[in-house]
Amino acid sequence: MIHLVCLTKPYNELDFKIWYKWHKLIGIDKIHVFHNDSDLRIDRLINPPDCYQYINGWPNQWQLYNDILNENKLGLKNEDIVILIDDDEFLWFDQKESLDAILMKQFRMLDCVLLPQILMSTKELSEQRSTNLIEHSIYRRNDLSNQGKCILLYNERNEYDFTKEEQNERGHVPFINGMRYSDVVGSDCSKTTYGLVSYNAPLRLYHYHIKSLDDWKHKLERGSAANSSQIYDSDITKNKWFGGYEVIDLTMINTAKKIGLI
């Protein structure tokens, strides 16, 4: 079974709705939504067998992930696939095989896969936006390497730790039984949370980080689920992923049309 875990602080119902529908349409078996400190009634959008839980107060994202996996709070079975991403990140695959088949092929030597993010935005940053992320942001950066998110082949005998810090990196990819190693999609292995980005891989992660100035204001106001203090500068231009969106990439929007999402 393919499980997707998302801890979200939603402020735009349109965005969450398209994120949720996208992942159901591509074949995720069960989505587990942890909703943190937001007034949006996204619980009305979630249908069985998917699960919804509201969390009051700072959720400590990395410790939450530890508890979910080590205490098996989701009822996982051995060799279930677990994907942990945010609500502005979209899993994509080429649909030449089933999602399950594509995912299983990524576990070459290890039971942890690192999927480096492909950063999407607009060529010129807008003040506001009225469309969903997929239709609004069709340009990407051409980063050689990027931080990514993990896909796990669950095993009840493993001890997972997202909270341990090494080389100034914490979270995103866990230490498993004391070691952090992952198979990187499209390349070799990584001991960090970073990997080479493969723009032609059959499995990709599209991340809509820089959206608009209005979105940035909401991002700062809602705070982080992973860090107790704000890590981003209020000046969006000082963010390390600001600018450089020069390559038009219609992969997401074309796929969304193909699967009947837009």
Q: Tokens in use for 204?
A: 């990709």
Q: What is the pLDDT along the chain (262 residues), one digit of tens a residue?
A: 999 999 999 999 999 999 999 999 999 999 999 999 889 999 999 999 999 999 999 899 999 999 999 999 999 999 999 999 999 999 999 999 999 999 999 999 999 999 999 999 999 999 999 999 999 999 999 999 999 999 999 999 999 999 999 988 999 999 999 999 999 999 999 999 999 999 999 999 999 999 999 999 999 988 777 776 677 888 999 898 999 999 999 999 999 999 999 9
pLDDT of residue 71: 99
Q: What is the pLDDT of residue 222?
A: 82
How far is the CA of 42 from the CAs of 3, 24, 54, 219, in angstroms?
19, 15, 10, 18
Can you tell me the distance from the alpha carbon of 149 to that of 169, in angstroms, rounded to the nearest whole number?
13
Own/partner pairs, 64-68, CB within 8 angstroms, 24+ separation: 64/7, 64/34, 65/5, 65/160, 65/162, 65/171, 65/174, 66/160, 66/161, 66/162, 66/163, 66/174, 68/5, 68/32
CA distance 248 to 227: 32
Report how far apart, in Å, the C-alpha atoms of 121 and of each of 88, 140, 213, 217 are: 11, 6, 12, 16
What region, left, alpha or beta, does residue 243 occupy, with left being phi > 0 and alpha being psi -120 to 50 degrees?
left
What kind and span of H or E run contains 61? helix 61-70
Q: Which residue has the tokens 């398209």?
A: 18
pLDDT for residue 167? 86
Locate tokens 């576990």: which residue?
107
Whole-angstrom Cα distance, residue 90 to residue 119? 11
Asked if residue 173 lies in contact with residue 114, where contact means CB atoms within 8 angstroms, the answer is yes
Distant-in-sequence, close-in-space partners of 111: CB < 8 Å, separation ≥ 6: 152, 153, 154, 155, 158, 176
